Amino acid sequence: MKTVLNLILSHQPAASVSNMLIHWNRCVPNESILIAYGGTKREFDAIQHQQKFFIDDPRLRTRDHQREFQSYTRLFQAAAEFLEKQGDQFRFVHFAEYDHLPLVPDLNERQIDRLTAEGADLLAFHVHRVDGTNNPHFLYHVADDKFMSYWSGMSRRAEADVVLSMFGSGSFWNREAFCSVSALKEPFPIYMELYLPTLAHHLGFRVRDLTEQNRFVRALASEVDPIDKAHAQGAWTLHPVKRLWDK
Amino acid sequence: MIRKFIRAVGLKIAQTIGTSIKDFLSGRSLGRALAIPWRGKIHVIGLNVAVRPMFQPQKRLTYWKQEIIFTEHPPPDFPNIRKTERPSPSEITDD
């Protein structure tokens, strides 16, 4: 039974996507992979993978992601529609950007075990509570009065002013949390690294950090070890690895 | 490019000669930063972790000397609640 849907976001040329899939197939079944494509329509058409969809959303195709409030909402909505069409085949969703490299052949099993052990609904990297702090994403959003009002208006929780942050390149969801978050319309532009974990939290889902894996998931390539070294040190995944698929 | 370089050098200086900032609750070091008062505000330069500023609780009733300290939120560990924890405002009684 296909349990985990591996949702991979890419904008690279079709040849690079093929190389990426060869690597991913060492870690997860090919039929569990759904490609979300943010590149050109021409390259999308050339991708030789059955499960794929094209996203034509300017909120995804940002250059300055934080200031332009990059959003994964449309992407997640399209993936949720795919899940719906597949019936009950998938119970979890693993989201990864193209440069977030899987390193272990039992990745999905590890993720399920961790989610279960934590009693969590969403596992992510660098999960922090940032309300009231100097976190730049929080300060950028809280300058708009609508931001905190929105959470206090929709939250199911007693403490409605909690704002969470996570690293956006990879996350692991149970299906209910993923679909619940996808079902809501973004009220106004909110950067996805705040929006996704905060929304999941206020809908009542449990968001947990992947603690010891955080050091393998960083913003800059200079901050992470080479692939072999990271793997030897216990990395499940590694980010960013940008040029690997160009070869 | 030059602006980025100047900023990087400025940050390096702030993180070298700045005051050591600790989490008030745990005592954990949060790094070094310059805290500079300017035009009624305090500019904190060089800190690269998410911290909450707050006035330190005090046991004596004084206004003349107060201290601003920094703390971190504990790691998020909220339970799954799939029912509303908050009562609707119409359901809150005056008792």
Q: Which residues of A touch B52 (CB under 8 A)?
A: 132-134
Q: Residue A42: give the domain boundaries.
A: 4-127+168-246
**Residue in the structure block whose two tokens are 């931001």:** A147
Residue A1's pLDDT is 47
Phi and psi at A104, nearest 5°, equal: -120, 145
Residue A142 lies in a domain: no
- Percent of chain A beyond pLDDT 90? 89
Residue contact B50–A209, C-beta within 8 A: no
Residue B87 lies in a domain: no
The SS3 of residue B70 is strand
CATH number for the domain including A240?
3.90.550
Q: Name the residue in chain A with its Cα closest to that of B43.
A: A134
Q: Residue B31: give the domain boundaries.
A: 21-77
Residue A156 lies in a domain: no
User: How far apart are alpha carbons B63 and B3 in whole angstroms?
Assistant: 41
User: How far apart are alpha carbons B27 and B55 in whole angstroms?
Assistant: 16
Residue A223's pLDDT is 81
Summarised one tens digit per residue, pLDDT across range A153-162 is 999 999 999 9
Residue A206, chain B, CB below 8 Å: the answer is: yes
Residue B92 lies in a domain: no
- What is the rounded average pLDDT for all residues in chain A? 95
Q: What is the mean pLDDT of residues B50-58?
A: 92
B53: closest CA of chain A, how far (Å): 7
Residue A241's pLDDT is 92
Residue A112 has pLDDT above 90, yes or no: yes
Residue B48's pLDDT is 87
Domain count, chain B: 1
Residue A65 has pLDDT above 60, yes or no: yes
Residue A223 lies in a domain: yes
B86: closest CA of chain A, how far (Å): 5
Residue A108 CA, chain-centre distance (Å), reads 14
Domain count, chain A: 1
Residue B91 lies in a domain: no
